[in-house]
Each structure stands twice: as structure tokens, then as C-alpha cells.
Structure 1
Amino acid sequence: MEELYDEAEHWQLNTGEETIHAKRMKGKWRSYKWYANSFWLILFLGPYLRWGDRQAVLFDIPNRQFHIFGVTILPQDFWMLSLTLLFFAILLAVVTALAGRIWCGFFCFQTVWTDIYAWIEDKLEGAPQKRRKLDKAPWNVNKIRIKLTKHLLWLVIGFLTGISFVAWFVDAFQLWADLVSFTLGSTAIISIALFTVGTYVLAGFLREQTCFWLCPYARIQAVMIDNTTVVPTYDFHRGEPRGRVKKGVSEEERTTGDCVDCNQCIAVCPTGVDIRHGQQEGCIMCALCIDACDSVMKKLGRPTGLIRYESLDALNGKESRPLLKRPRVWVYSIIMTAALLGIGYGMSTLDALEIKVIHSRQPLFVLQSDGSIQNKYTLKILNKMTGDIPAKISISGIDGAILVDADLVTTARHGKVTPRTVFVRVPKKLLKQETTPIIFHVEGQLGEELLKAQRESIFIGPRY
């Protein structure tokens, strides 16, 4: 416990007194970070893809329809959304338990946009030392020019972010047309404005303070990480005691560890953490400190990996179980597999047309003047396509059954449930029992595609 308190005394947490100007350095983990950034940037281009006569991915909330390429998901299929959210929630827990805050360091929107804003700042204002000098310099024409250019670019990125977000919920091209013609609705205007200001403030000014004070995940992750979690770790066995490189002292003669106290690991950290003092709340585990340390080790001709992804138990020689023998890995995997199977089943059984049959209970049947038995049903036809479908209804399962007005075609409205009341008559002599299974079929054609659906119900007659 004393060791923990001693370590905590050295923890660093910038509470906003100064702006952290992190050094940008090339390396393997920096490349991985850019790949992760590109994932979200490419994803924001999704609304501009087309699928036939509509947007490929469109979350049409007013009409309660989710269009994902050729699939249309309606409220009746939202159970799949629950399974999808469960899958990603468990995936986040698995990744955190096994490899720490990978989400925070590589995929979080705040991390990605802050990194882009910092890149722009670095290109316009220069290296960290130049940026600090510029911040302290008196205002002049050059400083105003640089600062104004930076903030305008930040606002443009925030504005494009807002438009890209709104484009998931309305047609992207129509959105731009309304924007240019100044006919954009108030909801879209407010949403774009909120995203523009939010991105500009959070990524441009608050930066790591958002992770410290606004993001609940920074707190939750503490209970999801233990000594077996693989995280960016400083190998204190190899690095201590620290010491500067001395001229004339060979590698065999030196009495210090591999850490030369160059502080490059701190210089590149976007939250200003010193990884050598152990895991801290401010560490988002972006692994940029690994790139910085490895570059120094290579220059000195020493082995890389002084800072590396490693668990604390493995660092201390306590961890001997391989990853696949840890119980929580299997528990998480089973839950994720079940969620994936459920999603796969739902997508594979997702029909463009669905039909539900409700048997009238008052009365259960009517005896006709010709001696036949008549049942009344309410059919609810769900059309998940983007166009109306002329649907024809038929029955099977009972010999001699007659569907009244069988030639009548029902127009199934797109994205809606269309009700239709039908009557079925069966000669009494053909009924052998009180209840008999009957199958209702609905068939329609949209373009060249033939769509079918069926649902089983019962035909009720008098007791024998």
C-alpha cells in the first residue's frame, strides 16, 4: 500500500492551468492512430453513398425507418438494434479488460478530432516550443493571421462534422441543397450549430480536460483494468536507476538503467502524463510514448521496448496463464457470440413483406344461409420496401375454403402497416374439427422483384 501511495504522489493531472502542446513524432503507433482516425473520417462519408434511388444508409426517424443498403429496419425489428448495442458494449468491456483504453487512445471521437486540431495547430504554429512562444508573444499582424487561420479551419471542421452527422438522418444531397438555398429546417440548423460549437470547444480548447471531467468512461475504466491487463507500461526493472548518457562511459561500464531521463515520453503525451510513474487517470493509452522511447533507444543502440504493451503481472514475472485460459475471456466471448448469432438470425429472416393475422373474436364464426361457416380476420401487411406494393392475398390449408373478394388487390404502403379485413368461408361438411389450421399468403411485386410472406392462423367452426 505504501508503494501505491508513493507512486500516486508522482501522478500528474493537468487541471487546465496550462495548455499542453504535445510533440508530434513519427512511429508505428502514430501510424496506427492515423489509421483509426481514418476509419471515422471515412465513416462520415457514408451518407453520400447511394443505393438505387435513395441514400445507402439513412436513419429516417420521422418515418421510423432505418435503411442500411438493401435492408430496411422498422420498429418491429428494433430488437436487433438491442443485440447490436449489447455486442458493442461487451466488445468495449472485453477490449478494456484485455488491452486497456484502446477506445480512448485510438477510436474515441474526442481523441480523433483533438488529434486533427492539434495537427493543424502544429502545421500553422510550429513545434511545441514555438507554439508556447507564440502564445506568450504580444498580439501583432503575424500572430493574428496565424491564430485566425487556425480558428477558421477549426470552425470549418466543426461545421462539416455537424453536417455529416445530420446527413445520417436526412438525404445528404437534399441537405446541402437546402443549406445553399437557405431553406434548411430549424431542427437541422440547431443540430449543425451544436455540433460545430461542441467540436470547436471540446477538441480545440478543452481537449484532455474533456476526458478528465466530462467523460464517465475515464472513471469506469479503473474497475475494468487489473494486473493482467496489457497496457503501455514502463519497464522499471530495466530502466532504473535513470541516468543521462555520459561521454567516455561504455555500455559495459555504466551503472544506470536504460532510461536516460530524456522526457520524450512526456513530450509526446497528449495529456502530459509521465508513464514512468505507473498507470494514471490521465493516460488514454494511445501508445505514443512507446514510439518516443523506441526512437531514443534506437539512437543509443539499446534494445527497444523499455516502454511497451505489457501487463503488470508479466512485468513482475507473475503472469503465466495464456490469454485463452482466462475465464473472463470465455465469458465475454460467449455473450458476444450469442449477440452476433441473434443479429445474424434476425438479418437472415428479415423479409421485405410481413403479415400478421388477427382472428375476430366477436363472433368467432358465422353460419351463412348456404350452410357454410364464415370467419373474419384482420390482416396487417408490413411493407419494408421504399415503394408501395400491390399485394394479393390468398389462403391454403383447408380444402374447399373460399376467400371472399380474392381478386381484390391491396396496396401495401411503403414503410407502414396496411390493414385489410378479409372473410373466409368453408362448407360445414368439410370441417372435421372445431379448429383447423389455415395459412394466409401475401404476394406482391416491386419492379422485377417478387416478394412473398405467409402466416398461419386457425379457422374456427362449431363443436362436433
Structure 2
Amino acid sequence: MSDKIPLKDVSADAVKTFDLYAKRDPIYVRSYQGLFKNVRLLGVGFLFLMYFGTVWLKWEGRQAVLFDLPARQFHVFGATFQPQDFFLLSFLLIICAFGLFFITVFAGRVWCGYTCPQTVWTWIYMWAERVTEGERNKRMKLDKQPWSLDKLKRKSAKHAIWLTVALATAITFVGYFMPIRELVVDIGTFQVSGWALFWVFFFTAATYLNAGWMREQVCIYMCPYARFQSVMFDKDTLIVSYDEARGEPRGSRKRGSDPRAQGLGDCIDCNICVQVCPTGIDIRKGLQYECIGCAACVDACDQVMDKMNYPRGLIRYTTEHSLEGQETKLLRPRLLGYGAALAIMIGLFVVTLSNLAQVSMDVQRDRNVLYRETRSGMIENVYIIRINNRTNAEASYQLEVDGHPQLHLELPADRLTVEPSSSLQIPVNVQLDPVYMEGTNIPIRFHVEANDDSEINATVDSRFMGPTLR
């Protein structure tokens, strides 16, 4: 037996090369009607109303939702949050993550197909294409034709609508970070600030490019969800699927003919399911990561089945177990686990939010010097106190210090008044006779309390520093 590894000369074999980047082939989406399209239209209408409408609402004299970054205040209807409340954002992100995991295990990529902003705005842009350039075949012919006045008018109208939608989207988004009524007036009078103008331009360009030009490329190449979503699928996950056992072998036939007599399945190979797909895939080839679960192919196929007098559901939301003739298990450990985690996180968020203090306080010792001696021989520490009024009304507070009965607190004013949803920063001096010092430091506690409501209070621990006594 030879102890050498056999070699093969492949120099004469044809070498195949592949481009790492392939030019995008335009997708011409066909119009269709159906149940899932109506559901998506209702969802899109609600999301558009929320996005474009909420920013214009007034609440107690101010914009209902406003993330005021310069003032470090984040107003959400009647609640005002400050940077120290950012831990609540982690709650929201975890809730969104578990919610996405839960819905993905249950029904696949329905988030992508119905509520993802990329999908929603892409459908709006495709609607603009259909209004200005016509249906699928007309758009294909128009793109192949040489430039003419009619083509220029149609293309210009389409891009005008695209830019209008993109500009409205950008102004609304920036309006969540600065008062939108002032922003619109400033833009109209050409007095808008440089940064505001930059972000309006940036989000206009991003919307125009993502929804108008890149479209499915964002979902296929840029979105990480398309890559890891299959990890959360199992054989009981509801996904858009083609019933191969019923549809094959596919082939054309006359309406009303018996496909079984011709040795055919129910699929007439019309390719309409491909023509309505916003990512351009053929669902008959099985589950693909490009599928966003929008069910456009389901609606289109049902229309064809109705015309052929065949039962609906050749393409439908179903499970792998169901296609194999097995029982689908709705309640399974993975789904229950994500559901339980989601419920727990929502409960913790609600409890935390309901117990959020109406006043908070930050205490920082003067870092320039540990302590100093006054002319009267007292040991003095300086602290910077920040009182945060989290309510939407002006409030006055009393500040006290505990830790030793002989501690003396010096305030710049007897009455500490803080504006609504604002902070008051003051320096305070705490003094103590050195004979009462026990070691080089003693624990102390600052306590702030509203004058008109003792239940509105906050307490912060600190330390009082002194000299070493021999």
C-alpha cells in the first residue's frame, strides 16, 4: 500500500471566479389585493399616525414627546426623565429584544413584514412608483425606453414624491429633539441652525436612499436580523411556506381543467408569487433568509387560486410540522421561556416606573481640599448639592444633614426653589467641632424634602472628613 497522498493536477480545469459584489437587479413589484395587505395597510396607517402625529401633540404647555438634549431632559407626555434615568432605557431595550424573540419563535419575521420602518417606507415608495410610472409592465418598459419628455415627467414626479416623504420624515424625526413648531418656522424663514439643518439633510438622504434605491439590499445585506433569525425558528414556527406536496408538479393549464387528470399539482407556474415579492425571491424554493414574512405571495396566490376555482392556501402561514402532516405544538419550552422573560421584564419596568421618585439628589464633595478649618476652629467640608425636581410644577425644598447632633449646615438660602423639570445646583458648607470627630471621617446623610409634601423626599449618604486627632 502506498503511503503517499494521491495528487491531482487541476491546472487544466476551468477556474470559476465570482464577484464579491453583484450589481443590483431592479425589482418591479406587481400590484395585488388580499387580507394580509389590508392588515399591513392598517398597521402602516397606525404607525404613520403615531410617528407624524405624536410630535405635534401638546401636553401641559409643552410638546408631548420631546428629547431636549441641551437641557438633558426627556419629556414623554406627563413624565420627565433625566440622564440618571437612562437605566430605564435598558429595560425598554431588553423588553424589545425579548418581544422580538417571542414573536419570531411564534410567527417568524412578521416584525419585518409589517412594522419594520425599512419595510413600511419601502412600500410607501413603491406606491409612489406605481402612481407615477404605472403598473409593473409599464415600469419595466419605461426603464428600457430612451429618455423622452414623458419619461422625464414620470421620473421627476416619482422622485419629487420620494423627496417629499423623505423630507417630512426627517423634519419629524428632528422634531422629537427640538420643538417641531419652532423647527418648521425656522426652516420656512431660513433661520434654522446649522446642526438642525445638517440632521434634516442627513435623515432626508438616508430615507431617500434606503427606501428608494437600496430597498431589499438593506434587508438582505445590512440588517443582522436576517442572518440570525433562523436560529430562533423551529418546526412549529409559523412561516410563509409553499405546499410542495399539493403544488407539484407545477405547470400551466386551462381554467376549470382537472390538474390531476393532467398529472399536475395546483401550482399553475404563473410566477405571480415572485412578481409581488419585495425582495424578489421565489417562495417555492423553500424558506430563505431574504423572506421578510410580508405574506404578499400568500395574497397573490390566493387570488390565482380563486380564479382557478382551487382551494386557497397553496402558499400560506404554516409550520414545518404541519406541512409534514404532523401536529403543531403551540406551547413549547422556547416560546414559554421567552414569554415568561418578556412578562417579567414588563412587570419590573412598570413597577420601577411607578416607583420613580419625584425628586432626586446628587451629592459631591469638594475635591480640591478634604477639609478646612474656620477662624472659629470648626472643621468644615464643602459639598456640591444638585436637587432634581422631576415634577411638572415648581417646588420648594428643605435640606438637612444627619449623622451627628452637632453638625451645622450652612445654605445659600433658606428656601430652595426649583423650576419644573429642572435642577438646582448649590454649594453647601457642613461644620463640626473637632472634639466630636471620631477618626478621620464620619458617615453623614443629606435629606431633602418638599415643603408641601413630606412624602416627596430623597436621601443620599456621604462622608465628613476631618484631621487625625492624637
Per the normalisation by structure 2, the TM-score is 0.81
1:442 matched to 2:423? The reply is no
1:284 matched to 2:288? The reply is no
| SS class of match (2:55) | helix
| SS class of match (2:251) | coil
| SS class of match (1:226) | coil
Aligned in 2, Cα 1:255/1:405: closer, same or farther, shift over 3 Å? closer
Aligned in 2, Cα 1:388/1:422: closer, same or farther, shift over 3 Å? farther
Q: How does 1:18-417 map to 2 (within 5 A)?
A: 18-42=25-49, 43-246=51-254, 249-250=257-258, 253=261, 255-320=263-328, 322-324=329-331, 326-355=332-361, 379-385=385-391, 389-393=395-399, 408-412=414-418, 414-417=421-424
Deviation string, structure 1 residues 233-266 (Cα, Å, up to 9, x no partner): 0111111122323367447745322212222211
Deviation (angstroms), 1:221 = 1.9
Deviation (angstroms), 1:61 = 1.6
Q: Work out whether residues 356 and 455 of structure 1, in 8 Å CA contact, stay in contact via their aligned partners in 2.
A: no
| SS class of match (2:417) | strand
Aligned in 2, Cα 1:242/1:440: closer, same or farther, shift over 3 Å? same
Cα RMSD of the aligned pairs, angstroms, is: 3.7
User: Structure 2 CA distance, aligned partners of 1:155 and 1:438?
Assistant: 58
User: Structure 1 CA distance, aligned partners of 2:411 and 2:261?
Assistant: 101
Q: Work out whether residues 394 and 440 of structure 1, in 8 Å CA contact, stay in contact via their aligned partners in 2.
A: yes
Deviation (angstroms), 1:357 = 6.3
User: Structure 1 CA distance, aligned partners of 2:343 and 2:418?
Assistant: 36
1:455 matched to 2:459? The reply is yes
User: Structure 2 CA distance, aligned partners of 1:137 and 1:358?
Assistant: 72
User: Structure 2 CA distance, aligned partners of 1:19 and 1:350?
Assistant: 52
User: Any stretches of 5+ residues in structure 1 without a counterpart?
Assistant: 1-13, 429-434
- Taking only the aligned residue pairs, the percentage that are identical comes to 37
1:86 counterpart letter in structure 2: I
2:212 counterpart letter in structure 1: G
Deviation (angstroms), 1:315 = 1.0
User: Structure 1 CA distance, aligned partners of 2:238 and 2:256?
Assistant: 38
Aligned in 2, Cα 1:406/1:144: closer, same or farther, shift over 3 Å? closer
User: Structure 2 CA distance, aligned partners of 1:75 and 1:103?
Assistant: 30
Q: Which moved more, 1:270-279 or 1:451-460?
A: 451-460
Q: Work out whether residues 273 and 300 of structure 2, in 8 Å CA contact, stay in contact via their aligned partners in 1.
A: yes
Q: Which moved more, 1:220-229 or 1:55-64?
A: 220-229
| SS class of match (1:44) | helix
Q: Work out whether residues 411 and 428 of structure 2, in 8 Å CA contact, stay in contact via their aligned partners in 1.
A: no
User: Structure 1 CA distance, aligned partners of 2:299 and 2:140?
Assistant: 23
Structure number with higher relative contact order (C-alpha < 8 Å, ≥ 6 residues apart): 1
Q: Work out whether residues 353 and 451 of structure 1, in 8 Å CA contact, stay in contact via their aligned partners in 2.
A: no
Per the normalisation by structure 1, the TM-score is 0.82
Q: Work out whether residues 359 and 458 of structure 2, in 8 Å CA contact, stay in contact via their aligned partners in 1.
A: no
Deviation string, structure 1 residues 257-286 (Cα, Å, up to 9, x no partner): 221222221121112211111011321111
Deviation (angstroms), 1:382 = 1.4
